[in-house]
Amino acid sequence: MNPTAGRSRDPSRGRERATRILDAAEDLLLRHGARRVTVEDVAVGANIGKGTVYLHWETREKLFAAVFDRAVARAMSELLVAMRTRPSTCLPHQFAHDYFLAVMHRPLLRGLLLADPELLGRLARQHDPAWDERHHLVSERYFRLLAEYGVLRAELGADEVAYAFQATFEGFVRAEGELTRSESAAPPAAAQPAATTLERRADLLARTVELAFEDSRPVTTDDLRSLAADVVDLFTDLVDRRGFADLVDLVDRAELGAPAAS
């Protein structure tokens, strides 16, 4: 048996190599933006040959898309773990707080959410209609669940809150990005505000969402646990349908709160 051939088929070696490629691509995207980064640049950054990159991703665009998918999966992992361990995370104000920090701690996600053309390049114009539709349905279902459990203000419809919540959230993200860019000499995607500032902004967002959209009556402990379980199932299904778990070195299924594959 050829030992070299055996090593080349070692899954752990493939995962480690793919991780290096993704890490190098992420660093280059943040520093230069998609338009200025080539597969050759990524290969040099990962200390491998250009052809090896193509063994994992057929095109430059698919590689960059995988980088963004990994960032989304890691943020989703944080949120799902938080909801499983702290059910109150599923409430709109706490979800907004944690989601905001997850995005702001990952400049790639901020650029993706705001469709930053400098960061995304051609990817900014590419959309997956099936993913967009599924994301919309999950959002719609999330706010309807909140209404069913009596979390939302009675005079507001779930669809109205869904729209207003997204507009509020994106407004906070966009405003923070603008403030950071004006205060930093770093490229827009790489600019990062201080952690204490982010925490204050997240608290302000949470308070805004709570006052604007949530009923003043507290949710019972039992209802909160039940709601959190439903929301975890909802978002886990979204992750599974996107196929995040199939991308090497994303997030372990158990970490995402999903059952092991049978």
pLDDT digits (tens, 9 = 90+) for 4-46: 344 445 667 778 898 999 999 999 999 998 889 999 999 999 9
Output the pLDDT for position 113: 80
Higher pLDDT, 70 or 258: 70
Global pTM reads 0.79
Q: Report whether 143 contacts 243 (CB < 8 A).
A: no
pLDDT digits (tens, 9 = 90+) for 223-262: 999 999 999 999 988 877 665 555 434 444 434 444 444 3
Can you tell me the distance from the alpha carbon of 244 to that of 65, in angstroms, rounded to the nearest whole number?
A: 11
Q: Report whether 156 contacts 92 (CB < 8 A).
A: no
Give the model's confidence band at 176: pLDDT under 50 very low, under 70 low, under 90 confident, else very high. confident
Nearest to 23 by CA among 43, 50, 3, 2: 43
Output the pLDDT for position 161: 96
3-state secondary structure of 152: strand
Output the pLDDT for position 254: 39
Higher pLDDT, 178 or 2: 178
Q: Which of 21-30, 122-131, 143-152, 219-228 has the lowest mean pLDDT?
A: 122-131
Can you tell me the distance from the alpha carbon of 100 to that of 258, in angstroms, rounded to the nearest whole number?
A: 23
Output the pLDDT for position 5: 40
Provide the residue type at 219 as one letter: V
Q: Which residues of 207-233 are buried (b: 16+ CB within 10 A; e: fewer)?
A: ebbbeebbbeeebeeeebeebbebbbe
Give the number of residues written for the chain: 262
Can you tell me the distance from the alpha carbon of 148 to that of 114, in angstroms, rounded to the nearest whole number?
A: 31
Q: Which of 1-5, 102-106, 119-123, 158-162 has the lowest mean pLDDT?
A: 1-5
Output the pLDDT for position 100: 95
Burial of 160 (0-12, 13-18, 19+ CB in 10 A): middle
Give the model's confidence band at 128: pLDDT under 50 very low, under 70 low, under 90 confident, else very high. low
Provide the residue type at 110 as one letter: R
Q: What angle do CA 67, 73, 79 make, to 5 degrees?
A: 145
Output the pLDDT for position 147: 96
Give the model's confidence band at 181: pLDDT under 50 very low, under 70 low, under 90 confident, else very high. low
Q: Which of 168-172, 208-212, 233-237, 255-259 has the lowest mean pLDDT?
A: 255-259
Can you tell me the distance from the alpha carbon of 66 to that of 70, in angstroms, rounded to the nearest whole number?
A: 6
Question: What torsion, rounded to 10 degrees, do the Cα atoms 85, 212, 76, 56 define?
Answer: 180
Q: Which residues of 166-190 are buried (b: 16+ CB within 10 A; e: fewer)?
A: eebbeebbeebbeebeeeeeeebbb
pLDDT digits (tens, 9 = 90+) for 88-111: 999 999 999 999 999 998 888 888
Can you tell me the distance from the alpha carbon of 256 to that of 250, in angstroms, rounded to the nearest whole number?
A: 10
Nearest to 108 by CA among 38, 204, 31: 31
Can you tell me the distance from the alpha carbon of 104 to that of 106, in angstroms, rounded to the nearest whole number?
A: 5
User: Taking the CA atoms of the chain, what radius of gyration do you get in angstroms?
Assistant: 20
Q: pLDDT at residue 56 above 60? A: yes
| CATH topology classification for 13-256 | Tetracycline Repressor; domain 2 (1.10.357)
Output the pLDDT for position 4: 38
Output the pLDDT for position 52: 93
What is the pLDDT of the chain when averaged over all its residues? Answer: 82
Output the pLDDT for position 95: 97
